[in-house]
A and B are shown apart, each in its own frame.
Chain A
Amino acid sequence: MATTTKRSIPLLKHLLRQTQTQTRPVTYMPRPGDGSPRTVTLIPGDGIGPLVTGAVEQVLDALHAPIIFEKFDVHGDMKTIPSEVLDSIKRNKVCLKGGLNTPMGGGVSSLNVQLRKELDLYASLVNCFNLPGLPTRHENVDIVVIRENTEGEYAGLEHEVVPGVVESLKVITKFCSERIAKYAFEYAYLNNRKTVTAVHKANIMKLADGLFLESCREIASKYPSIKYNEIIVDNCCMQLVSKPEQFDVMVTPNLYGNLVANTAAGIAGGTGVMPGGNVGADHAVFEQGASAGNVGKQKIVDRKTANPVALLLSSAMMLRHLQFPSFADRLENSVKRVILEGKYRTKDLGGTSTTQEVVDAVISNLD
Chain B
Amino acid sequence: MALHIAKRLMRNRTTNEFIRNPTLGLYSSSDRTYSSSSSGLIPVTLFPGDGIGPEIAESVKQVFTAAEVPIEWEEHFVGTEVDPRTQSFVTWESLESVRRNKVGLKGPMATPIGKGHRSLNLTLRKELNLYANVRPCYSLPGYKTRYDDVNLVTIRENTEGEYSGLEHQVVRGVVESLKIITRQASLRVAEYAFYYAKAHGRDRVSAIHKANIMQKTDGLFLKCCREVAEKYPEIKYEEVVIDNCCMMLVKNPALFDVLVMPNLYGDIISDLCAGLIGGLGLTPSLNIGEGGIALAEAVHGSAPDIAGKNLANPTALLLSAVSMLHHLNLNEKGDKIQEAVLKTIAEGKYRTGDLGGSSTTTEFTKAIIDHL
Inter-subunit contact B242/A259 (CB<8 Å): yes
Say which residue of B213, B219, B264, B275 sits within 8 Å of A238 (CB atoms).
B275
Q: Mark A4-17, 1 if CB is under 8 A from B, else 0.
A: 00000000000000
Those of B246-263 within 8 Å (CB) of chain A: 246-251
Those of A62-113 within 8 Å (CB) of chain B: 102-107, 109-110, 113
A140 to B70, CA, bound (A): 50
Interface range on chain A: under 10, 10 to 19, 20 to 34, or 35 or more?
35 or more
The stretch of A24-32, A157-165, A278-286, A304-312 in contact with B is A157-165
Question: Given A154-B213, A263-B246, A290-B243, are A169 and B177 also a contact pair (CB < 8 Å)?
Answer: yes
Inter-subunit contact B175/A172 (CB<8 Å): yes
Which residues on A sit within 8 Å (CB–CB) of B165? Answer: 204
Inter-subunit contact B244/A292 (CB<8 Å): yes
Say which residue of A109, A110, A234, A259 sits within 8 Å of B246 (CB atoms).
A259
Which residues on B sit within 8 Å (CB–CB) of A233? Answer: 267-268
Inter-subunit contact A237/B268 (CB<8 Å): yes
Of the listed residues A105, A106, A235, the one surrounded by the most CB atoms of chain B closer than 10 A to its CB is A105
A196 within 8 A of B: no
Those of A241-299 within 8 Å (CB) of chain B: 241-242, 255-256, 258-259, 261-263, 265-267, 270-271, 290-293
Question: Given A206-B167, A211-B175, are A156 and B213 also a contact pair (CB < 8 Å)?
Answer: yes
Inter-subunit contact A262/B211 (CB<8 Å): no
Of the listed residues A110, A156, A175, A242, the one surrounded by the most CB atoms of chain B closer than 10 A to its CB is A242
Which residues on B sit within 8 Å (CB–CB) of A292? Answer: 241, 243-244, 246-247
Inter-subunit contact B147/A169 (CB<8 Å): no
B339 within 8 A of A: no
Nearest opposing residue in chain A for B216, CB measure: A158
Those of A203-220 within 8 Å (CB) of chain B: 204-208, 210-211
Question: Given A137-B146, A166-B217, are A266 and B175 also a contact pair (CB < 8 Å)?
Answer: no
Say which residue of B178, B222, B241 sits within 8 Å of A168 (CB atoms).
B178
Inter-subunit contact A234/B267 (CB<8 Å): yes
Which residues on B sit within 8 Å (CB–CB) of A167? Answer: 178-180, 217
Say which residue of B176, B184, B212 sits within 8 Å of A105 (CB atoms).
B212
A170 within 8 A of B: yes
Inter-subunit contact B169/A266 (CB<8 Å): no
Inter-subunit contact B168/A207 (CB<8 Å): yes
B295 within 8 A of A: no
Inter-subunit contact A234/B268 (CB<8 Å): yes
Inter-subunit contact A104/B173 (CB<8 Å): no
* Extra 8 A-B pairs, beta carbons < 8 Å, given A205-B167, A263-B249: A102-B213, A110-B212, A156-B213, A164-B182, A204-B162, A242-B279, A259-B268, A262-B244
